[in-house]
């Protein structure tokens, strides 16, 4: 499912998709702006460790059991999220 990412705002991907916290997800950047994916229980900061999701360069994945999944996109964008079963 696609999740809209407002300009420079962290989005809780579990909350936005209804996927249970801790379940593994695939994330795919579907817009030209770069997206950063974070695994953290609370809202992260941009300097925290993250996975960069560049447009057209494959998927990012978190780990099963992660306490949270967040994304941010400078300039705004969208991300496709799928639960890994």
- Write the CB contacts of 50 (distance below 8 Å, at least 6 apart in sequence): 36, 37, 38, 44
Judge whether residue 56 has pLDDT over 90.
no
26 token code pair: 């695939």
Q: Which domain holds residue 46?
A: 2-83
- pLDDT of the residue at 70: 97
- pTM flag (> 0.95): no
How far is the first Cα of the chain from the last one, in angstroms, to the nearest whole number? 15
pLDDT digits (tens, 9 = 90+) for 41-51: 999 998 999 99
Please state the domain count of the chain: 1
Q: Which residue has the tokens 């407002």?
A: 6
Is residue 58 pLDDT above 90, yes or no? no
As given in the structure block, the two tokens for residue 31 are 């817009």
């Amino acid at each position: 499912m696609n999740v809209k990412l407002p300009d420079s705002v962290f989005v809780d991907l579990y909350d936005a998709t209804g996927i249970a916290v801790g379940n593994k997800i695939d994330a795919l950047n579907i817009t030209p702006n770069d997206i950063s994916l974070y695994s953290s229980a609370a809202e992260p900061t941009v300097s925290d460790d993250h996975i960069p999701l560049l447009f057209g360069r494959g998927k990012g994945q978190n780990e099963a059991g992660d306490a949270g999944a967040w994304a941010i996109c400078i300039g705004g964008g969208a991300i496709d999220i799928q639960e890994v079963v």
